[in-house]
């Protein structure tokens, strides 16, 4: 969170066009949570508004002495005092700022109390959507930047309208042919995954000491979700609309709370904390949006703290008298406020995530802490899906489900081919493949990752090449796309090497390496150290990196990254 850190909001070449589902944006910074490169993605309408204002990328540098916000109206950019907004939650901030600017159509990204209080789990919120992970909100807070408001009224044209129309039509056709995109995903969204991973015994529960009990499916699964769903929402230009708005109803103490929890949230505030009260998860998700917190890291940290408490490593004295027991939804929701406001005692202990908490507790934590490089685990037990797990280990952002999701293991996806989820064989190559595809065909063109997995896996690179070429006027081939995806992964890896990361950091927490899953369809499985070593060797080899995981001069030269090679050379790494 140093003053010299940059905070980069980047839309992509397709943003703002009528390309379906190209409404994403990345925020990139050096993550205070991992100290590695940090990328957080979000959709909605804020990303395209930047484009309509005439910009591709917004780079925030330096630091303000006092709270400010940025107001971009087309070519007019001003930096203004945010005294009025400081202390406000993200929903209030957006409402009040639009009123202040007399510009209801402005789109706003902002931090809440968590970002102001520099929680390393702080998110940046636009509407109810989050640039969620890696503490990007803390970086914004450290710059004393409360909000960025944008109103763009420019129109822009694509370079080759005929080619664009054709490519778009191919893409829409592939989307129609998807067996799940419209028929299931638009009606259920990501929460539908609860049932799949539970059935596979890899829906992690109680901080990974158990997995996917049947009662989670009953209480948090599809039927229970549908009961609470009031409707769905779409990002800009998306015909799918996977966001499911859910309202806590009936006799719940959380009655009236509304939010749109994703699959990952049902894990982090559900199974991970042992909570089966569906409405409390809607409320917890709402609190995180409001305070500007990453639901995933916060839930995993709370689950971790609960296991520490149950094992006597946190005491009532540490917890301000709160009983941090698994399944206690009152405590789970209360802790979110403690964290967001970095409150004395338990709030201060938990507010910077699992890695910092483990360091504070020191003795005896190793076997309970669930992160890679400081980034808390997503909702897939790596012991039940080894390429998925290898991605957590090797992704340049830490344990990140957005870098190299492995549908071949989890859903038996046929491209490039289905994989047995327990075997380590071939997973080095597959992980590289998944990371590269997602990077080049989703992240870089700011296309929604779900679309790639569910509708375009067979034409992902061709589609990207055709769409981006028609919009930009470049003449990209499938092979160019391959190259782009590798360039990003090599560049990011080099960033991390310069930040001090080594092969030793590409590893699982102790529990994954030593404790077999106790029950269910993945019972008995774990990832041995030998398996991990083998998969890592394979992965580095597939990338043409050294045994230490350092990009080779050959690979960097092939990718046209000679300047990156020079950086490594100066460090004595090449």
Reading the block at residue 152, the tokens are 């763009």
Strand order in the sheet with 76-81: 76-81, 68-73, 145-151, 107-110, 124-126, 129-131
Beta pairing class for 25-30 and 7-10: antiparallel
Nearer to a copy of itself, 12 or 292 (CB): 292
Strand order in the sheet with 25-30: 37-42, 25-30, 7-10, 57-60
d(Cα 553, Cα 81) in Å, to the nearest integer?
Answer: 48
d(Cα 229, Cα 244) in Å, to the nearest integer?
Answer: 6
Nearer to a copy of itself, 88 or 139 (CB): 88
**Could you tell me the CA-to-CA distances from 117 to 140, 141, 369, 395 in Å, in that order?**
11, 7, 24, 28
Nearer to a copy of itself, 341 or 495 (CB): 341
Are the CB atoms for 11 and 27 separated by under 8 Å?
Answer: no
d(Cα 318, Cα 37) in Å, to the nearest integer?
Answer: 32
Nearer to a copy of itself, 349 or 532 (CB): 349
CB of 41 to a copy of itself, least distance (A): 20
CB of 84 to a copy of itself, least distance (A): 3
Nearer to a copy of itself, 195 or 289 (CB): 289
Nearer to a copy of itself, 124 or 484 (CB): 124
Q: How far is C-alpha 491 from the geometric centre of its chain's CA atoms? A: 20
d(Cα 323, Cα 345) in Å, to the nearest integer?
Answer: 14
CB of 341 to a copy of itself, least distance (A): 5
Nearer to a copy of itself, 128 or 355 (CB): 128
Helix axes 427-438, 529-542, angle to 10 degrees: 50
Nearer to a copy of itself, 71 or 539 (CB): 71
CB of 121 to a copy of itself, least distance (A): 16
Nearer to a copy of itself, 234 or 503 (CB): 234
Are the CB atoms for 32 and 120 separated by under 8 Å?
Answer: yes
Nearer to a copy of itself, 113 or 221 (CB): 113
**Site residues (vs a copy of itself, CB under 8 A):** 83-89, 91-92, 95-96, 98-99, 104-106, 112-113, 127-128, 230-231, 233, 245, 247, 249, 251, 255-256, 258, 290-291, 337, 340-341, 343-344
Are the CB atoms for 41 and 63 separated by under 8 Å?
Answer: no
Question: Hey, is 199 helix, strand or coil?
Answer: helix
d(Cα 338, Cα 134) in Å, to the nearest integer?
Answer: 19
DSSP letters, 474-518, are ----HHHHHHHHHHHHHHHHHHHHHTT--GGGS---HHHHH----
Nearer to a copy of itself, 118 or 535 (CB): 118
d(Cα 61, Cα 75) in Å, to the nearest integer?
Answer: 19
For the chain, what's the residue count? 574
Burial label for 39, CB within 10 Å (0-12, 13-18, 19+), is: buried
Reading the block at residue 247, the tokens are 């309202």
CB of 446 to a copy of itself, least distance (A): 20
Dihedral sign from CA coordinates of 3, 348, 264, 543: positive
Are the CB atoms for 488 and 479 separated by under 8 Å?
Answer: no
Burial label for 551, CB within 10 Å (0-12, 13-18, 19+), is: buried
CB of 566 to a copy of itself, least distance (A): 48
Nearer to a copy of itself, 13 or 113 (CB): 113
């Amino acid at each position: 969170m140093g003053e010299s850190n940059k905070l980069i909001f980047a839309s992509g070449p397709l943003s703002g066009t009528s390309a379906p589902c190209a409404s994403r944006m990345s925020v990139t910074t050096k993550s205070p949570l991992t100290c590695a490169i940090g990328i957080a993605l979000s959709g909605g309408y804020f990303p395209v508004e930047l484009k309509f204002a005439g910009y591709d990328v917004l780079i925030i540098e330096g630091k303000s002495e006092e709270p400010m916000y940025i107001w971009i109206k087309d070519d007019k950019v001003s930096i203004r005092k945010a005294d009025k907004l400081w202390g406000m939650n993200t929903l209030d901030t957006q409402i009040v700022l639009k009123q202040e600017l007399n510009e209801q159509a402005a789109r706003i990204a902002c931090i809440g109390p968590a970002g102001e209080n520099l929680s390393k789990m702080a998110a940046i919120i636009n509407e109810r959507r989050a640039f969620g992970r890696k503490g990007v909100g803390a970086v914004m807070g450290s710059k004393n930047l409360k909000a960025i408001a944008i109103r763009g009224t420019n129109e822009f044209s694509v370079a080759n309208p005929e080619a664009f129309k054709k490519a778009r039509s191919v893409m829409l056709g592939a989307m129609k042919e998807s067996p799940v995109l419209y028929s299931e995903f638009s009606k259920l969204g990501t929460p539908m995954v609860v049932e799949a991973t539970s059935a596979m015994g890899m829906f992690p529960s109680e901080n990974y000491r158990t997995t996917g009990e049947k009662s989670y499916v009953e209480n948090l699964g599809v039927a229970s979700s549908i009961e609470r769903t009031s409707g769905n929402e779409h990002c800009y230009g998306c015909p799918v609309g996977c966001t499911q708005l859910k309202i806590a109803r009936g006799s719940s103490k959380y009655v009236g709370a509304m939010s749109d929890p994703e699959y990952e949230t049902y894990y982090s505030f559900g199974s991970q904390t042992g909570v089966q009260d569906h409405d409390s998860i809607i409320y917890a998700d709402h609190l995180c949006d409001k305070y500007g917190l990453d639901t995933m890291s916060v839930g995993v940290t709370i689950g971790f703290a609960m296991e520490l408490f149950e094992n006597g490593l946190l005491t009532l004295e540490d917890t301000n008298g709160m009983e941090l027991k698994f399944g206690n939804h009152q405590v789970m929701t209360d802790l979110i406020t403690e964290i967001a406001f970095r409150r004395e005692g338990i709030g201060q202990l938990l507010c910077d995530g699992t890695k910092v908490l483990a360091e504070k507790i020191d003795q005896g934590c190793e076997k309970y802490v669930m992160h890679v490089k400081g980034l808390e685990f997503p909702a897939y037990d790596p012991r039940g899906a080894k390429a998925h797990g290898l991605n957590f280990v090797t992704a340049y952002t830490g344990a990140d489900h957005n870098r190299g999701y492995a549908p071949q293991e989890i859903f038996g996806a046929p491209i490039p081919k289905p994989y047995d989820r327990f075997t380590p064989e071939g997973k080095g190559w597959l992980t590289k493949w998944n990371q590269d595809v997602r990077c080049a065909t989703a992240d870089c063109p700011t296309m929604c990752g779900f679309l790639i997995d569910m509708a375009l896996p067979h034409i992902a690179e061709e589609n990207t090449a055709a769409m981006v070429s028609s919009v930009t006027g470049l003449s990209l081939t499938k092979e160019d796309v391959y190259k782009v995806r590798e360039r990003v992964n090599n560049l990011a890896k080099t960033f991390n090497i310069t930040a001090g990361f080594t092969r030793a950091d590409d590893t699982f927490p102790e529990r994954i390496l030593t404790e077999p899953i106790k029950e269910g369809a993945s019972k008995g499985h774990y990832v041995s150290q030998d398996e991990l070593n083998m998969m890592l060797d394979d992965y580095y080899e597939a990338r043409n990196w050294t045994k230490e995981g350092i990009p080779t001069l050959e690979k960097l030269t092939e990718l046209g990254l000679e300047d990156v090679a020079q950086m490594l050379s100066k460090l004595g790494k090449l």
